[in-house]
Amino acid sequence: MLVPVLTPESELGPLLIVLAVSAIKNAAEDYKRYKQDNKANQRVYAVIKDGRAVPTMSKDINPGNVLRLRNGDTVPSDVLCLSTSIYGGTCYVETAELDGETRLTRRFAVAATAGKDTDDLISQVSGRFQCEPPNANLILFDGRLRVWPSPGAREKVEPTTINNMLLRGMVLRNVDVVYGVAVFAGPDTRIMRNLKMSGLKFSTLEKRLNKLVLCIFAYNACLLVF
């Protein structure tokens, strides 16, 4: 009876298979994320300039741009809510992308601009906004809006909280139109800051594959030594 001789070369095959499976899986996930990010970046939104709407892709939205959002839109950046089509300046959002919650959350427009609910009216508003630097906090926000609601109007100062903010990834519900000004965009948004802080996460399959690779490597090392 012939007993097969185990050598490092003969054990290389299983190790390569494990590594190939892991590489293919990671490549597929990276490609899926790339397609999702590209789709999100190519979405077109209405940026209000001089009383008219200018179609602008999500990736080209910058802090200070005034946006007109509609029901069902995914918020493309961290936006301060200026006005809505609902009396009193309220709106509702889904926050599942941020915190996994399925129930709707209420948000409020800044009181000084709550009645500016058309392209022409919102274009009359001018102001300055001061707030905390970009961070990952999804439940707290501190800012102050100095605003002139119309030409020649007296300055109004409004404190702002997280209840006035529409964060990137939220989805508008039960409201026709929302106007807001982009505060943070791109990597400075709260959702992106949270992605950076979360670090690497491994699935159960990846953990098992990593353990298997280590076991095969240790076994081959023993064969080389003994």
The answer to whether the beta carbons of residues 112 and 156 sit under 8 Å apart is yes
pLDDT at 207: 64
pLDDT at 213: 66
pLDDT at 190: 96
- Rounded Cα distance between 1 and 115, Å, is 91
Residue 217 vs residues 13, 14, 132, 178, 214: alpha-carbon distances, Å:
12, 10, 49, 58, 5
pTM for the full predicted model? 0.76
The answer to whether the beta carbons of residues 141 and 150 sit under 8 Å apart is no
The tens-digit pLDDT sequence of the chain (226 residues) is: 554 555 555 556 666 676 777 778 777 877 776 676 677 778 999 999 988 999 999 999 999 999 999 999 999 999 999 999 999 899 999 999 998 888 999 999 999 999 898 998 999 999 999 999 999 999 999 999 999 988 888 999 999 999 999 999 999 999 999 999 999 999 999 999 998 655 445 556 666 666 766 776 666 666 555 5
DSSP run (H or E) holding 185: none
What count of Cα atoms within 13 Å lies in the side-chain half-sphere of residue 27? 6
pLDDT at 42: 85
Domain with CATH 2.70.150.10 in the chain: 45-188
The answer to whether the beta carbons of residues 172 and 77 sit under 8 Å apart is no
pLDDT at 188: 96
- Rounded Cα distance between 125 and 58, Å, is 23
- Rounded Cα distance between 179 and 116, Å, is 8
pLDDT at 204: 63
pLDDT at 14: 65
pLDDT at 214: 72
> What CATH class does 45-188 carry?
mainly beta
- Rounded Cα distance between 221 and 199, Å, is 31
pLDDT at 79: 98
Residue 190 vs residues 21, 67, 76, 185: alpha-carbon distances, Å:
34, 18, 12, 9
Q: What angle do CA 174, 142, 124 make, to 5 degrees?
A: 60
